[in-house]
Amino acid sequence: MKFEDYQIIPELKRSIAELGFKRPTDIQFKAIPNILKGEDLLAIAQTGTGKTAAFAIPILHLISKFWSGEGVKAIVMVPTHELAIQITEVFDKLGKYTDVRTLGVYGGVDQAPQIQELQRGVDIVVATPGRVFDLSSQGYLNLRDIKVLVLDEADLMLDLGFYKDIDDLIKYLPKQRQTLFFSATINETIKKLAYSVVKNAIRIQISPKDPVSKNVSHSVMFVEMDDKRFFLERIVNENPESRILVFVRTKVRAERVFEAMKRVGIKSQTMHSGKEQNSRLAVMNDFKNGVFKLLIATDISARGVDIANVDFVINYDLPEVAENYVHRVGRTGRGNNKGTAVSFCSKEEKPILTEIEQFVNKPIRVLEIHPTDYSETLVLTDDVDDNWRQLLREAEKDDKTYKSKNKKKKK
């Protein structure tokens, strides 16, 4: 089935065609008809499966054709600021030929402009739980006319401690509404939340045997913890035109890697929870626009970065949660593009690697490093703080030359 065969408004078909979408993905094929019928949905699908369009397309159609009048008609709840921005952009692109207005609402920035937009009138609000709860409790966001509630990346929302916020917010919503629940994983806590908000839901589960996209080539290098920066330096220098996204475990690690790259003359930026929201937005825009080609991020960005043509994902640190490996490497190889994911694994991280391989249900290809290549990578760094390595290497060479000459003299 093609998108042109769906019973949706012509304005949507036009924007879908311009975006290059021809046939629906599995989640879109299974979700769109049920959403158009007004069914509640419980969908389990990994990132990168096209689930944003799976709910955005039918919601835009329903608002344009059936849900006229003032007031917010749909609310999409997401766990992070980056996801709110990303999903708002998807609605804007798909709805560019409609009169539907979408607003992203999230914390970390001044709420005054968001309040002004709400007062002008919007149809769809894409929001993080904290900010939407604040605006609704202050009376700026009226939820009584909501037709559809979307909970997206519900598992991450629970991980971030938003259960109570979601539970409290639902009390503001009309009981007669459509609810669409999307999660990458399912467990007892997620089931409890899901079945408290959906009614007689259609259940959809998209579980590919290989959760990593076929467009992504992924491999692992065994590198000691203190040596990782030198191997990152080498990869960046050997791929000067590539856009590279690096994942580390903590914001402190992100800043340390940033300083290490700065010392060797490599331009980069960091993305983590310690940055102000406006700074994070500026970093994302600069990375998208090619101002710099190396972004060092924590897992806050694993589900919130949707940037075309990310050539490499480097797992500088392996993720503590195996599932996050899939979310990280899913930032490359998007759409029809090919991508490369390389993981650095130290001795301490080998148990985590085992968990990841069990999660993806296959071994990750090992990139063997010859001892000579390993040593050269450490020696040939431009890091002035590590010139002692070069001096040590030169001293070893001089020592070998001296011993060799002495042997010849003795003969």
What is the bridge-based pairing of β-strands 294-297 and 178-183? Answer: unpaired
What angle separates helix 51-65 from helix 26-36, to the nearest 10 degrees?
20
CA distance 257 to 270: 9
Q: Which CATH number fits domain 216-380: 3.50.50.60, 3.40.50.300, 1.10.290.10, 3.10.180.10?
A: 3.40.50.300
Looking at the domain that runs over 3-206, which CATH code has it been given? 3.40.50.300
What is the rounded CA–CA span in Å between residue 115 and residue 294? Answer: 35
Q: pTM here? A: 0.73
Alpha carbons 344 and 388: distance in angstroms, whole number: 24
Q: 91-135 pLDDT, tens per residue? A: 999 999 999 999 999 887 889 999 999 999 999 999 998 888 889
How far is C-alpha 196 from the chain's CA centre? 27
In 47-162, which ranges are continuous DSSP H helix? 51-65, 81-94, 112-120, 129-137, 154-159
Q: CB 149: neighbour CB atoms within 10 A?
A: 23
If DSSP codes are grouped into helix, strand and coil, which group holds residue 232? helix
Strands in 312-315's sheet, in edge-to-edge order, are 269-271, 294-297, 244-247, 312-315, 339-345, 216-222, 365-366
Q: Which of 195, 122, 106, 114 is nearest to 154 (CA)?
A: 195
Q: Residue 73: its pLDDT value, please?
A: 96
Locate 267 and state its tokens.
């331009």
Q: What is the pLDDT of residue 395?
A: 52
Q: How far apart are CA 120 and CA 270, in angstroms?
A: 35
pLDDT of residue 351: 95
Low-confidence ranges of the chain (pLDDT < 70): 47-48, 207-211, 213, 301-306, 335-336, 384-411
| Nearest of 74, 353, 39, 62 to residue 222 by alpha carbon | 353
Structure tokens at 223: 């590198």
Give the model's pLDDT for residue 407: 57
- Same fold for the pair 3-206 and 216-380: yes
- Position 83 scores a pLDDT of 87
Largest Cα–Cα distance in the chain?
101
Q: How far apart are CA 48 and CA 263, in angstroms?
A: 35
For residues 132 and 104, give the distance between their C-alpha atoms in angstroms, rounded to a whole number. Answer: 10
Q: Determine the Cα–Cα distance for residues 245 and 331; give it in Å rounded to an integer.
A: 8
Domain ranges in the chain are 3-206, 216-380
- Which DSSP helix (H) or strand (E) runs through 221? strand 216-222
